Amino acid sequence: MGGEAQKTLKAMVERFEQENPDIDIVLVGMGNYDALAQKLLGAVAVKSPPTIAQMYENWTTQLFAAGELEFLEDYMNGPDGLTEDERSDIYPRLLENNRWEGKVLTLPFNKSVPVYYYNVNMLKAAGYDSFPNNWEEFRKMCRRLVRQNERGEVEVWATANGTDIWIFGSMLFQRGGRFLDQEDGKPEFNSPLGVEVLKFQVDLIYQDRVQTTMTGRNPMDDFLVGRVATLTGSSTWRAPVVDKESFPVGMAPVPLWGKKRAAIIYGTNIGLFKRAKPEEKRAAWRFIKWFIAPEQQVEWSLGTWYVPIHRRCLDDPRIKERLDKTPGLRAAYEQMEFGVFEPRGLKWLAGRKALVEELEAATLGIKTPEQALNDAARRYQAQ
């Protein structure tokens, strides 16, 4: 955790320690998730893992296969566990994604949804009072948003950041597709559906000329100064810029393709390592239980713009105030109800990297959508 998330986490941990003076928590920061994965696997190799750690699902699969993780379901059902009301209020898809062999192994820690940020004033000027709810209408809107000067140079791009694994994957699931036929199975992201999805995004760049790739730059900076009207990203991108906005900003869910609603949920889960001492495990569970409780989830969300993992948090007066002030935010957060997830198998760590790189090649016009996805599939299968 860095930036606003780190500040919020530190403040929350300090408060927990004040309320639980017998427990000491040492926060260990990593530069990024790749560094965290390497550090965790390295610590396990030398039999010195932390007590608890954030982890993505395919890391969890590897750690669980090595016998390193403790089932949190046993703590949830224990004398100091969660009530049925507390469990049922967590978004069901989150709990399901944290089950291995039918039991809850890890619990959701920081969860973000894909959103479109949009300049409310620019959309109104183009005749839109709200963000489109389907991709074809989005495409039409983009043609009305783009602005060129008298020399034919684009001064305001309609959108940016669309061709990435987050949007690609969400659109693929909306079309009834999936990344793989099963965990560690054959790739399906290069199916005709996958090609159709990627072509739609690439056409925004090269056919409609409404989307900029802006490689090597921070597109949020261009959004804030009005060079881009809409921008895809994480809900958490709002945290560091909320005081830098000079115009009304809306946040919308990913548009739909047909009637099926789907959006990939990202973010890590919290796992407990078996090698910890019994008293450390008991202390860790107290912290996990405290952190995922609705009161703390509201505080976490307010400080970071991560989505609270409990449904009831959206009715908290403090969250409702933010929802009321931010057009489209409630609908964006409600994507948790129909969230989908990337594969959890061991091969996906390298396979995902290949797909991300090939999506970029298509974005830059180096390869056609079909070439890029087929090359990604070959790289995945060559592992």
What pLDDT sits at residue 217? 63
The torsion angle over the Cα atoms of residues 251, 219, 168 and 373, rounded to 10 degrees, is: 180
pLDDT at 202 over 90: yes
Q: What are phi and psi of 116, to 5 degrees?
A: -105, 120
Average pLDDT over residues 174-179: 96
Question: Do β-strands 147-148 and 154-156 pair in parallel, antiparallel, or remain unpaired?
Answer: antiparallel
Alpha-carbon distance of 295 to 298, in angstroms, equals: 5
pLDDT at 214 over 80: no
Mean pLDDT in the chain? 94
| Lowest pLDDT segment from 26-40, 272-286, 304-318 | 26-40
pLDDT in tens, 61-72: 999 999 999 999
pLDDT at 216 over 70: no
Is 351 within 8 Å of 380 (Cβ atoms)? yes
User: Model confidence at 259, in pLDDT bands (50, 70, 90)?
Assistant: confident
Average pLDDT over residues 191-195: 97
What number of other Cβ atoms are within 10 A of residue 65's Cβ? 11
What pLDDT sits at residue 319? 97
Longest dimension (CA), the chain: 72
Average pLDDT over residues 3-7: 87
Average pLDDT over residues 51-55: 96
| Lowest pLDDT segment from 80-89, 200-209, 214-223, 292-301 | 214-223
What pLDDT sits at residue 14? 97
Is 179 within 8 Å of 188 (Cβ atoms)? yes
Q: What are phi and psi of 227, to 5 degrees?
A: -85, -15
What pLDDT sits at residue 31? 81
What pLDDT sits at residue 112? 95
Domains identified in the chain and CATH numbers = 3-111+266-330 (3.40.190.10), 114-264+342-381 (3.40.190.10)
DSSP E strands: which ranges in 123-248? 147-148, 154-156, 159-160, 211-212, 230-234
What pLDDT sits at residue 2? 78
pLDDT in tens, 106-155: 999 999 999 999 999 999 999 999 999 999 999 999 999 999 998 888 99
Q: For 250-270, b where at least 16 C-beta lie within 10 A, e where not — what string?
A: bbbbbbbbeeebbbbbbbbbb
Average pLDDT over residues 245-256: 95
Q: Which two tokens stand for residue 170?
A: 């969400």
What pLDDT sits at residue 33? 87
